[in-house]
Structure 1
C-alpha cells in the first residue's frame, strides 16, 4: 500500500514557530513525528491578522447566541477580523486532507476552548471550538479537524491518521486516473476500509462503478469521490472493526487449524474487552494472509492505512 503524503493545515505553534500568546512554542511528540510524513500549511490566526508576539490573551464569550473573541484588558473585539481571515484562508488553501490545530485555543481549539459568560466573569457550563476551528469544520465538514490534545485518545488518533492518508491516496487518484481500471483497483483496495466507516456508501459506490458507462468516466469519478468523503466523515468504533475482521477471517477460516481458530477467537475476545490493541490483533491476522499468500487481502488499505511508525 502506497502512502502518499497528506496535505494538512497545522497550527504554527505546534513545533514550528514560537507564536503563542506568551511567546512560547508547543513541543508535542506526536505532531512532531507527523511532520516527516505530511505536507503542511501553517496557520496562526492571531498572528496572521497582525496581533503581536507576545500578546495579551484573548477569550471567547457568548453574546446574543453568538460566540465572540475579545481581549479583556483593552476590551478590543477581534471577532470579525478572525472570522474574515478564517473564511479567506479556507477559500484559498486548496485541496487539503485534514487539520491539526492547537488544543484549548480561542481560535484553534476543537470543542475544548473555554467559553465565558457575556460579563466575562464566569464560565459557561460547556466548551466551544475556536473561531477558526469552527469555520474549518463548517467549510470542510467531511475532513478530520482535530487538535493535539484530542489526538492523545487512541481511537481519535487512529481515525485521524486513517482518514488523512486515505484522502491523500484519493487525491492522488483524482489527479492521475486515466481509465476505469484505475478507479476499480482503488475501490478494491479500499473495500474493507469503506466497510468500516459506511457499508451503505460502499454498496452505492459499487453500483456506480458497475454502471460507469452510463455516467462516463469523469462523472463516475466525481460521484465516487463525493461518496468516499461522505463515508469517511463518519467515525469508526470497536463493533465496526469487529465486523470487518469477521469478513477478513472468512477468507482463511477453513484453512487454519482448530487450535489457531481458538487462539484467534481468544484474541478477538481480548480486543473486544479492551485487553488487546487493534494493532496486535491485525498483526496476527496478517500472519495468515502472508502464509496463504492472499494477494486480495494483502492489498487492503484497512490492514495498512498509514505508516505504522506513526502509531
Structure 2
C-alpha cells in the first residue's frame, strides 16, 4: 500500500458482501462505484466477527433493566459484550490507520444513531440507540470522519463526508513528521477559506489559537487545533457562507479584472446565492481567474480543490 493511500473502514454488507442475516447485502453504489476509485476499503462485519452464522436469526437491541442486550427477539443469544469487545479491538488497533468510516444505518451493531431499542416484552421501542460496534469506533477515534450509507444519498452530507476524509488524511500526513508552530500555521493557512465556508466562528477561534500561542507544548496545541478543525467542518457549508467565502476570494482579483469580468463574477455568485446554479459555477470562474492571474497564497487554498474533481460533488450543491 502506498503511503498516500486513503484507507476507509466500511460495513462489509455495504461493500456488497453477502454477510447479512438473510445472506443478502446492502451494497452502496456511491462507495463501491465512485469513491472506491480514490480510496481503499477495510471491510468489517462485527456480527460475523463475533461468531454469528450466515444466515442467522435477526438480532436487535433490547433494554433489560438498566442494561441493553443485542439479542434475538425472544431475548436469547446476547452478543452485546462480544460486539463491544470487538469494537474496542478494531478501534484501538486498526482504526488508527483509517481516514474515515462508512457504517450501515439502522444496524444494532453498526448504526451510528437512532437505533431502535425494544422493551423486554417486545411491545414497543425508542429510537435512541447506537450500534455497539460503531459506538466504540467513534468513542475511541473522535476525530475520525464517520457517516452512514443512507445519509450519503444526501448530496450535501456526501460532499461534507468526503471533504472531511481528505482533510483528516492531510492531517495524518502532516503529523508523520515532528510538528512545530510554523508547520501548523502553514497547514491552517491552506484551510482558511474552507473553514470560513463551514464555520466562521471556528475559523476565527482557530486563527486566534495559533496566533496567541506562547507555550512550549506544541502537541497540546495540535490536539486542540485538529479537534477544532474537524468539529468546525462537520456541518455542511451553507449557501450564505459559501457566498461570503466566494466574495472574499473575489476580492483578491479586484485590481486584475475588467469591469465586465467583475460583473460576470458577481452575477455567478448571485445566481448561486439564488439557487439557480450549483457551487461549481462561480468556483470554476474563480479558478479561471486564478490561472490567468496567479496568486501563490490562493493556489494553496484547499477550498478550491478539497477532493478529486472526478467525484463531481460540487455539481449538486
Query: What's the TM-score, normalizing by structure 2?
Result: 0.84
CA distance in 1, matches of 2:37, 2:146: 19
Tell me, yes or no, if structure 1 residue 44 matches structure 2 residue 45.
Answer: yes
In structure 2, relative to structure 1, the CA distance for the partners of 1:254 and 1:221 (3 Å cut) is farther
Tell me which moved more, 49-58 or 171-180: 171-180
Query: What is the SS of the residue equivalent to 1:60?
Result: strand
* Higher mean C-alpha displacement, 158-167 vs 194-203: 194-203
Name the structure 1 match of 2:71. Answer: 70
What secondary structure sits across from 1:297 in the alignment? helix
What is the correspondence of 1:1-80 to structure 2 with a 5 Å cutoff?
4-15=4-15, 17-32=17-32, 33-64=34-65, 66-73=67-74, 75-80=76-81
Counterparts of 1:81-160 in structure 2, within 5 Å, are 81-93=82-94, 94-124=96-126, 126=127, 128-160=129-161
Cα–Cα, structure 1 residues 74 and 184, in superposed 2: closer, same or farther, change >3 Å? Answer: closer
- Give the TM-score normalised by structure 1: 0.85
Q: 1:47 to 1:297 in 2, by over 3 A?
A: same
Residue 25 of structure 1, CA deviation:
2.7
Displacement, 1:58?
Answer: 0.9
Aligned to 2:221: 223
Partner of 2:236: 236
Q: Once the 2 structures are TM-superposed, how far is the Cα of residue 48 of structure 1 from its aligned partner? A: 0.8
Distance in 2 separating the partners of 1:291 and 1:64: 68
Q: Match of 2:190? A: 189
Secondary structure of residue in 2 paired with 1:114: strand
Determine if contact 1:197/1:232 at 8 Å carries over to the other structure. no
1:260 corresponds to = 261
